[in-house]
Amino acid sequence: MSLSMDSMYQQIILDHYKHPQHRGTIEPFDAEVHHVNPTCGDEVTLRVRLADGEIAELGWVGEGCSISQASTSVMSDLVVGKPIENALRLQEKFLELMQSQGQGELTEDEAEALDDAVAFEGVSKYPARVKCALLGWMAMKSAVAEASSTVEASGTTEQGAQS
Ligand code: ZN
């Protein structure tokens, strides 16, 4: 990775840290999860609302290092308004990238799909920081799973969601 690429990535992370996307609580919501990364002290509480097989809304609050907060912001930007399937596929891709120990090889399509999330590629070289970058993504995955089972159990995606 060239130096200019590195600093461009750092800028993306900094921008999201300073101007977090979808930060805040949403109401109503289908599921709420709280995830912590004890090794760094990062926390995120995340809510989702599903509708028509899509992540209709997502809101989060958190505290911790710039990587954890920026990564949650980037993730939110990428999944809100997207079909659940696509969001989960992106989550898998990002997980793979983070577990690559700096050896991640993304195809052009994958890089395009991950968009700003590729800025965290360099983080995969630092095992201690990988959990920071993954925090928001793992929270999104469990919130969606929880919301899906609630929505299925109630037999409708809309009831009670419109106020
Ligand atoms: Zn952290």
What dotted CATH number matches 3-149? 3.90.1010.10
What's the 129 CA to ligand 1 centre distance in angstroms?
6
pLDDT digits (tens, 9 = 90+) for 112-149: 999 999 999 999 999 899 999 999 999 999 999 999 99
What's the 66 CA to ligand 1 centre distance in angstroms?
7
Q: How far apart are alpha carbons 47 and 29 in whole angstroms? A: 6
pLDDT digits (tens, 9 = 90+) for 31-65: 999 999 999 999 999 999 999 999 999 999 999 99
Whole-model pTM: value is: 0.90
Confidence of residue 150 (pLDDT cuts 50, 70, 90): confident
What's the 65 CA to ligand 1 centre distance in angstroms?
4
The residues spanned by each domain of the chain are 3-149
CB within 8 Å of 72: residues ≥ 6 apart:
20, 44, 46, 60, 62, 135, 136, 137, 139
What's the 137 CA to ligand 1 centre distance in angstroms?
13
CB atoms within 10 A of CB 3: 7
What's the 68 CA to ligand 1 centre distance in angstroms?
5
Quickly list H helices, the chain. 3-18, 66-79, 84-98, 108-114, 127-154
